[in-house]
Amino acid sequence: MAEGASRSGVVKKLKATSIASAYQKEWFAGLKKRVEAGEDFGYLNADVPMEILRAMDIPFVVNQWWAAICGAKRMTRKYFGLLRDAGYRDDLCSYCATAFAESLDPDDHKVDAEGNPMGPWGGLPDPTLAITRLTCDCQSKIFELFARNHGASFYAIENTVPRKVPLKWFEMAPDDWEELYDTDRLDTAVEELKELIRFLEMKTGKMFDINELERVMNLINEQEGWYKKIRDLIASCHPVPVTVVDTINAVMQAQWQRGTEWAAGHAKGLYEEIKALADRGEAAVPNEKYRLMWIGRGIWHDFGFYQRFEQKYGAVFMWSMYLAMGADAYIRHHVEKDPLRALAARYIGMEDFLHMPPWNSQWYLQQARQNDIDGVVYMVPENCMQAVEGSYFIRKTLEDAGIPVLTFNADPVDPRKWSAETMTGLVEDFIEKRVIPMKEAREAR
Amino acid sequence: MGIRECARKNPAFQALLEAYTHREDAASAFRSSGGKVIGELGCDVPDELIIAAGMLPVRIYADPEKPLKETDRYLEYAFDPVVRSQFEKIVDGTCYDQIDHLVISNSTDVVIRIFLYLREMHRVEPEKHVPPVEFIDWLFTRNRLHQVRNEHTIGLFKEAVESWAGRSISDEEIRRAAEICNADRQALRRISALRTGKEVRVSGCEALVIIGSAFFMERQEHTRLVGEVAADAAEWPVLDGPRVFFTGSDQEDLSVYERIEDTGLVIVGEDHNWGDRFFDRDYNMAYTPVRAIVDCYMLREFSSKKAFVSQRVEALDRWVERTGAQAVIFYTNRYEEAASWDYPSQKKSLEERGIRTVNFAKMSYPVSANPDFPEKIQAFSEMLKNEITGKEAH
């Protein structure tokens, strides 16, 4: 096995990635102890303003992170069988339905004959709170079912659609967020936060502290500021010192810990580690020739996919949303004026930045240019309306700018429909027929 | 069974059937006489405001025969087939030849995406013959904050309608329009009573025509015709088959209902937007106009898309009790997924009450693309008939 190679054959070079993984396990074990001791525990969708729970010291797990853990532990096949047995369809909403399916698993908290836990990381402890946003018709239904199975209280936060859509949101978001959004949307979002706070206070007996939220928001700005430095650094390196295989896990795991001292410190450490690699001129792929952008959620069940084109073509997946969203979507300055409003200005845009044209397409284009991208591989997820995001407009925007795009359908957590061979062939064909010729033509000009 | 002779012979029903069949005729005549026609996509566009402005609201509907040449370029495959077909008519220029403005309400996630795509299309491909689009950003979770937000949203929509009309719309005009809409709802409830009473006099197919024609003609005329049909239908022959309730995908034409009722089942109610849900709740004349519109549309019986599972379970139980249905048919088109999360809980609750259910999920569109559907629904019908006969024998 190569140095840094995992059982899946993925080669990870950063210490920060393994530090984050180790921390997650330790943190999760601590969380389980807190829940066992009777503390309230929240299960949240990724677009829920988790900063409120952080500020109130209510432990929580994020749905998308947990689905990725379940996917990486290859539990999906079993879980979707459980869904089918319970009368549900097994081909829908895989990202959101994974944890609900897990709640149907009678073995989740058991150990096998050899004493190994049967559920991922020993299984999800019973949440007392299940909170989602209404950014998709199915999501609230799944969360309600999940809450019922765990005996948790279900809470839903509404979503509004922007009327005002300035194209360069990524330039406005950190400082000019008041101008970025319709004022009445922000007003409503602040009121939503107040209602959420009241619900949490009633449910947990803990009182919200605005100064603690301000501290959390500032820690997040610090953390995301490091991500911005990392993103900018990687973009400027030719060849890049790290790939998405290094950054996705390091960032995603810490992102769900945002608002803690640990996460801010981890982001700083990640920057320093990558900066040291860059300063030494180390290349993730020494023969780097083509820089690829990955649009979509991570392929959690086949992470090695991203590295299959390095040796043969010198093609390196060097961009994913996980780092770049941290860089561009989270930072909100002027927190001290009104921490709740600054938080509202973060959470109401999160889905739109990713899933609404023109905000997503314009950002991808700007990012492709900053990162000198030669080709874009775009996974349109199966069975997920939330992630339906105007792929036509994204593709058109990039292609019109001379950046070739490969689009294909796949599922980030369900390996049943994934053929590594077919997908690898698709990307190889794309590199040979579009990425290489277009780059050569550009260079000839 | 379909539409019976007794219905076809009735002149008022003939007129409704004419409007239902030739859906562009009334709109075309309205435009020819200088009126503005407003297309509606999503089932929560308040007709009261459009009618108050002297305009004609019409529904955008799918054409299953039309090839999806444009749609396949723009829409991901996860969009359900009915919406795909509706979208084709919007982007290929068909709609803009028939309507002046398009209003989209966020009645489902899918149509929200349609709004976002059309807005972007206007920006990046302005040469396309696509009507100007207005969006109504309803919030359907029921609490005070969202009610207040909806009042703001409807205020914005009123401003948009006023800009189309080139004048302000008075409260009195809205109230008059509300009276028109309420009268129509009241007339349709008379039809519903003829489906759900001790004796069933109106079939599901006939009801779809009577209700759905409202989307393609002037509302006062619709009310008058429905009233005449209701008076006559009280004497139509009684329908004796097992009484079933239909839940699931919107039925924009008769093809699914015909296949169901051909087996001897009688559809006595439905919770989709081309059926009973259309006239579920009145505009409250005691409220101020914006407040009354929000009350009417926000608090209608839950839709299959914008409601939690528990709400949908209770809603279906209520519908079934109200209509006296003996069984429920679940029918959802492929990629129309939200309701499928409700189904196991709804089935459990219904069966605990002795209500039989049958589920047709992931159905191809149009229904003719499901060759085994007639056989399966026939088998369900026979099973129900045998059960009912058996119960009666006891």
Measured between alpha carbons, how far is B226 from B154 in angstroms, rounded to an integer? Answer: 29
Residue B362, both tokens: 């992931």
- Decide if A312 is inside a domain: yes
Q: Quote the minimal CA–CA distance from A439 to chain B in Å.
A: 26
CATH number of B237-393: 3.40.50.11900
- Number of A/B CB contacts below 8 angstroms equals 104
How far are the Cα atoms of A189, A211, A343, A355 from residue A49, in angstroms, in the given order? 10, 16, 7, 18
Check CB contact under 8 Å for B141 and A156.
yes
**Mean pLDDT computed over B346-371:** 97
pLDDT for B227: 98
Cross-strand pairs, A61: A43
CB A274, CB A233: distance < 8 Å: yes
- Reply yes or no on whether the pLDDT at B78 is more than 80: yes
What stretches in chain A show pLDDT beneath 70? 1-12, 381-383, 411-415, 417
First and final C-alpha spacing in chain B? 29
Q: Considering its fold, how many domains does chain A have in total?
A: 1
First and final C-alpha spacing in chain A? 43
| Partner-chain residue, chosen from A158, A160, A388, that has the shortest CB–CB distance to B113 | A388
CB B8, CB B14: distance < 8 Å: yes
Would you say the CATH fold of B237-393 matches that of B36-171? Answer: yes
- Reply yes or no on whether the pLDDT at B363 is more than 60: yes
Interchain CB contact of B128 with A (< 8 Å): no
pLDDT tens for residues B131-172? 999 999 999 999 999 999 999 999 999 999 999 999 999 999
| Partner-chain residue, chosen from A88, A141, A397, that has the shortest CB–CB distance to B338 | A141
| Partner-chain residue, chosen from A144, A357, A383, that has the shortest CB–CB distance to B308 | A144
Q: Is the dihedral of CA A79, A81, A85, A89 positive or negative?
A: positive
Measured between alpha carbons, how far is A13 from A23 in angstroms, rounded to an integer? Answer: 17
| Partner-chain residue, chosen from B117, B344, B362, that has the shortest CB–CB distance to A390 | B117
Measured between alpha carbons, how far is A386 from A97 in angstroms, rounded to an integer? Answer: 13
Check CB contact under 8 Å for A390 and B342.
no
Check CB contact under 8 Å for B361 and A89.
yes
- Decide if A62 is inside a domain: yes
Cross-strand pairs, A129: A42, A153
Measured between alpha carbons, how far is A313 from A324 in angstroms, rounded to an integer? Answer: 25
How far are the Cα atoms of B214, B277, B293, B301, B369 from residue B48, in angstroms, in the given order? 13, 16, 8, 19, 38
Residue of chain A minimizing CA distance to B136: A161
| Partner-chain residue, chosen from B120, B146, B152, that has the shortest CB–CB distance to A393 | B120
Instruction: Give the relative orientation of helices A210-236 and A321-328 as an angle to the nearest 10 degrees.
Output: 120
CATH number (domain holding residue A27): 3.40.50.11900
Q: Considering chain B, what is the average pLDDT of its residues?
A: 96
Check CB contact under 8 Å for A388 and B78.
yes
pLDDT for A387: 73
CA A367 to chain centre: 17
CB B33, CB B63: distance < 8 Å: no
Residues of A with CB under 8 A from a CB of B: 86-89, 92-93, 134, 136-138, 140-142, 144-145, 148, 154, 156, 158, 160-161, 163, 165, 184, 188, 191-192, 195, 356-358, 380, 382-386, 388, 390-393, 396-397, 409
Categorise residue B177: left if φ over 0, alpha if ψ from -120 to 50, beta otherwise: alpha
| Partner-chain residue, chosen from B112, B115, B341, that has the shortest CB–CB distance to A145 | B341
CATH topology of domain B36-171: Rossmann fold (3.40.50)
B347-B348-B350-B351 Cα dihedral, nearest 10 degrees: 110
pLDDT tens for residues B262-303? 999 999 999 999 999 999 999 999 999 999 999 999 999 999
Check CB contact under 8 Å for B117 and A357.
yes
pLDDT for A1: 37
Residue of chain B minimizing CA distance to A358: B120
| Residue to substitute from B110, B116, B159, interface A, most A β-carbons within 10 A | B116
| Partner-chain residue, chosen from A144, A383, A390, that has the shortest CB–CB distance to B78 | A383
A156: DSSP letter: E
pLDDT for A382: 64
What amino acid is encoded at A245 in this protein?
Answer: V
Q: Quote the minimal CA–CA distance from A200 to chain B in Å.
A: 17
Interchain CB contact of B309 with A (< 8 Å): yes
Measured between alpha carbons, how far is B51 from B335 in angstroms, rounded to an integer? Answer: 34
Domain that holds residue A379: 15-208+288-320+341-444
Q: Is the peptide bond before B344 cis (omega within 30 degrees of 0)?
A: no
pLDDT tens for residues B365-378? 999 999 999 999 99
Is A356 exposed, middle or buried, given 0-12, 13-18 or 19+ CB atoms closer than 10 A? buried
Q: Is the dihedral of CA A132, A137, A139, A140 positive or negative?
A: positive
Interchain CB contact of B68 with A (< 8 Å): no
- Reply yes or no on whether the pLDDT at B391 is more than 80: no
pLDDT for B110: 93
- Decide if A110 is inside a domain: yes
- Decide if A419 is inside a domain: yes
Interchain CB contact of B340 with A (< 8 Å): yes
Check CB contact under 8 Å for A383 and B344.
no
Measured between alpha carbons, how far is A155 from B109 in angstroms, rounded to an integer? Answer: 19
Measured between alpha carbons, how far is A360 from A365 in angstroms, rounded to an integer? Answer: 9
pLDDT for A414: 66
CA angle in degrees (0–180, nearest 5) for B343-B347-B348: 120
Domain-by-domain residue ranges, chain B? 36-171, 237-393
Interchain CB contact of B334 with A (< 8 Å): no
pLDDT for B2: 85
| Partner-chain residue, chosen from A144, A165, A385, that has the shortest CB–CB distance to B78 | A385
With beta carbons under 8 A apart, name residues in chain A contacting B120. Answer: 357-358, 390, 393
pTM here is 0.95
